Amino acid sequence: MINEGKIRVWKDYQKEIADDRYFYVRSCIRQNFFPGAEKTFLRIMRDELRKDVFEDPRHTTCTGIAYHTDIVPLETIMTTVARQFSLMTENGYENIVPSCITSFGIYTEILELWEHHPEWEEKAKNYLFKSTGREFKKPKNLAHSSDVIFKYRNEIAHLAKHCLVNKETGQPIRVVEHIGCHYSRMFPQKGIGGAEYPFVLTGLAEAFGGEVIDYPERRACCGFGFRQYLVQANRGYSIACSKKKFESMAPYKPDMIITNCPGCPYFLDRWQYVISEMEGTTYGANGYGIPVLTFEELAGLMMGYNPWDIGLQMHQVSVEPLLDKIGIEYDSHDKYCDAEGIFMGKPEIPEILKFC
């Protein structure tokens, strides 16, 4: 009976994820800061798992950052999202997969709004038709790109060339995971593990052999806070939130952080640099930071892809200490080469944070 009860409760923390034929919508932040992560997602889905993932170049921002900085009304974002659905419908797809967590939260919220207040769906139809002449159908399935990777985590792990194990000690790599606020805070039933038992990244890390660390500020926000980062005068909020997390996780000596939301890896990476400059504090071993990877980058690394083809050179916190622990070979010169192999020069070296 106890087990039956547990299974019943756990069902609340799982979700249906489509098997194939995904309509992919990109993330504003990921495209700018981690474009290799999106490339890696598509490479794994298309080339390794042989799934149909379609992208229409006509799709745009969902305006999520504008909405959460309060500069556009609900009606605007709702209609822009309806336009993405229209492109999906026009291309014959029914399963939508956003790369962005803010978008995923927005799509979830809008579909819930339409479910409970059908008059708002009518409004969206009217606004979209009036402004663009477009019509749309709602997606049958909405999943974040990490949900899809989670669904196929065991297949990916089976194909992987590496595992998350320290090659010297044989012990699992110690992983901190961070799912991002808008993945499941508003609608916990739409996220794997909900907001309280985050499992979407944990399941992936464990499939590769890693060990996920539970620490006090595990569920705390990275500190984006939209206007709290985007306006220079407010950035103290953002860095304070990240610092709270670093201070909380550091005693557990994590080898790496993996993230779900496109913004979180950016903040958890860059604020480590700023804290080192401001206070002289570094959180990794030997003066380095704690490497911060997106879930796509982690999956790509495990698959044996060249770290510099998936974009790990775009991180301010060097990833080499992690690569060395796992035993992943890399070419230090190639890190700063272009696609033709021509060396572009190295970035400046930070004063405190050790950098490769």
Partner 1 sequence: MIKPDYFTQLKSDIRFNEGLHACINCGTCSAICPAAAFYNYDPKQIATQVQSRNEQVIENLLKSDTIWYCGECMSCKTRCPRGNTPGLIIMALRQLSIETGFFAESEKGRQILALKRVIGSNILNYGYCVHVEGISSEMHPEQGPIWKWIRKHAEKVYNRLGANYGKEGPGALRKISDSNLKELDQIFQVTGAYDRFDKIEKFSKKKATEMGYNTKIESMDPYFLMIYRHNSEKHYKQKA
Pick out residues in 67-96 that bind partner 1 (CB under 8 A).
Answer: 68-76, 78-80, 83
Does 64 engage in binding with partner 1 (CB under 8 A)?
Answer: yes
Nearer to partner 1, 160 or 264 (CB): 264
Instruction: Find out whether 295 and 256 touch, Cβ atoms under 8 Å.
Output: no
Using CB under 8 A, which of 15, 22, 23, 36 touches partner 1?
36
Query: Residues binding partner 1: what is the number (CB under 8 A)?
Result: 94
Does 331 engage in binding with partner 1 (CB under 8 A)?
Answer: no
Contacts with partner 1, 105-124, as mask; x by CB under 8 A:
x-------x---x--x----
Does 154 engage in binding with partner 1 (CB under 8 A)?
Answer: no
Using CB under 8 A, which of 47, 189, 214, 236 touches partner 1?
236
Does 241 engage in binding with partner 1 (CB under 8 A)?
Answer: yes
CB of 168 to partner 1, least distance (A): 28
Count CB neighbours of 7 within 10 A: 9
Report the 3 state secondary structure along 21-60.
CEEEECCHHHHHHCHHHHHHHHHHHHHHCCCCEECCCCCC
Q: Could you tell me the CA-to-CA distances from 19 to 12, 152, 194, 205 in Å, in that order? A: 20, 9, 21, 21
Using CB under 8 A, which of 186, 250, 352, 356 touches partner 1?
186
Q: Which of residues 248-267 bind partner 1 (CB under 8 A)?
A: none
Q: Is the C-alpha dihedral spanning 73, 101, 252, 216 positive or negative?
A: positive
Q: What angle, rounded to 10 degrees, do the helices at 200-207 and 295-303 form?
A: 10
Does 35 engage in binding with partner 1 (CB under 8 A)?
Answer: yes
Using CB under 8 A, which of 159, 163, 250, 337 touches partner 1?
337
Nearer to partner 1, 73 or 216 (CB): 73
Q: Which of residues 189-218 bind partner 1 (CB under 8 A)?
A: 195-196
Q: Which of residues 296-315 bind partner 1 (CB under 8 A)?
A: 308-311, 313-315
Place of tokens 């590496």: 162
Instruction: Find out whether 356 and 332 touch, Cβ atoms under 8 Å.
Output: yes
Using CB under 8 A, which of 51, 125, 215, 237 touches partner 1?
237
* Cα gap 248→119, rounded to integer Å: 46
CB of 42 to partner 1, least distance (A): 8
Residue 98 amino acid letter: P
Q: Which two tokens stand for residue 164?
A: 């998350």
Parallel/antiparallel/unpaired status of strands 292-294 and 256-259: parallel
Does 227 engage in binding with partner 1 (CB under 8 A)?
Answer: yes
* Cα gap 323→298, rounded to integer Å: 11
